[in-house]
Amino acid sequence: MTNHALSRPTYLLIFVALLVLTGTTVWAAYLPLGVLHTPVALAIAGAKAALVLLFFMHVWYSTRLTWLVALSGLLWLAILIGLTMADYVTREMLLVPGH
């Protein structure tokens, strides 16, 4: 296994990008987005998580097995969120009169 060390300017660039995305999160919190608040916040959080995963956890330069493990974790998260939302939607349908 080869260890790929990122240069200091690369780490600095990723750090600045994370700070900008954090500032964007705070800025977006004050915008009148209505129902888009949650999707915008999740998109920004996903971008920050991707930067941390790819560069600080060194997945970008890792083997295919590491990519497979990282993607399987994301798949498992999607399954759990999907099952949770299915449960939530079915409970809401039971509580709302007329359905």
Residues 84 and 95 in one domain: yes
Domains in the chain, number: 2
Residues 96 and 67 in one domain: yes
The answer to whether the beta carbons of residues 5 and 56 sit under 8 Å apart is no
Check residue 30 and report its DSSP letter: T
Residues 7 and 39 in one domain: yes
Residues 56 and 12 in one domain: yes
Residues 86 and 40 in one domain: no
**pLDDT for the residue numbered 98:** 62
Segment 86-92 shows an average pLDDT of: 87
Over 80: is that where the pLDDT of 93 sits?
A: no
Residues 53 and 69 in one domain: no
Reported pTM: 0.76
Over 70: is that where the pLDDT of 99 sits?
A: no
**pLDDT tens, 12-51?**
999 999 999 999 999 999 999 999 999 999 999 999 999 9
Amino acid residing at 4: H
Residue count (the chain): 99
Q: The domain containing residue 12 runs over which residues?
A: 1-62
**pLDDT for the residue numbered 43:** 96
Residues 70 and 96 in one domain: yes
- Percent of the chain, pLDDT > 90? 76
Sequence-ordered alpha helix ranges (H) in the chain? 8-29, 37-51, 64-95
- What's the CA gap between 99 and 97, in Å, rounded? 6
